[in-house]
Amino acid sequence: MSELNELYQETILEHNKNPRNFREIEGADKEADGNNPLCGDALRVYVKMDGDTVADVAFKGSGCAISKASASMMTQAVRGKSREEADVLFDEFHKMVTGGLDVETDDNHLGRLKIFAGVLEFPARVKCASLSWHTLNAALHDAGEISTE
């Protein structure tokens, strides 16, 4: 069960149960939809900008524990960050879950998001963890809709 415990850590289960910023933002400046057609995960990310800063970010939708917890922790991580800083986090997160970044040895800004490093051992679940990040990236860059397939 050790690998499993690494995937379903207490923090992830807690965010799944009580997702943060799980709401719409009225008058959001940017929105995007993310879909994972294979498993039916579907979420919408809302962003309110203040100049170049992410003033507020939230999400709605349905998905598995990994995708929900990842979206929840993403909103916490990027709120108050500049678009450029959010881009860096997206890049680092993506690399972490696909094996391009070792959180123990490589410099990074991931902080609490390192908890998702265990996803690397579960190839079928990488898309679950990264869906919200791809969707945020689409919102920040006005791409509208993404699909992880």
Q: Does 55 bind another protein (CB under 8 A)?
A: no
Residue 47 phi/psi, 5° resolution? Answer: -130, 135
> Which amino acid is located at 27 in the chain?
G
Asked if residue 86 lies in contact with residue 140, where contact means CB atoms within 8 angstroms, the answer is yes
CB nearer another protein, residue 80 or residue 122: 122
Task: Provide CB contacts within 8 A for 1, sequence distance 6+.
Answer: none
Quick one: which of 43, 128, 131, 146 contacts another protein (CB under 8 A)?
128
Q: CA of 23: how far to CAs of 30, 58, 128, in Å?
A: 14, 6, 19
Q: Can residue 39 be called a binding residue for another protein (CB under 8 A)?
A: yes
Q: Which of 45, 63, 92, 148 binds another protein (CB under 8 A)?
A: 63
Residues 64-103, one symbol each (x = binds another protein by CB under 8 A, - = not), give: xxx-------------------------------------
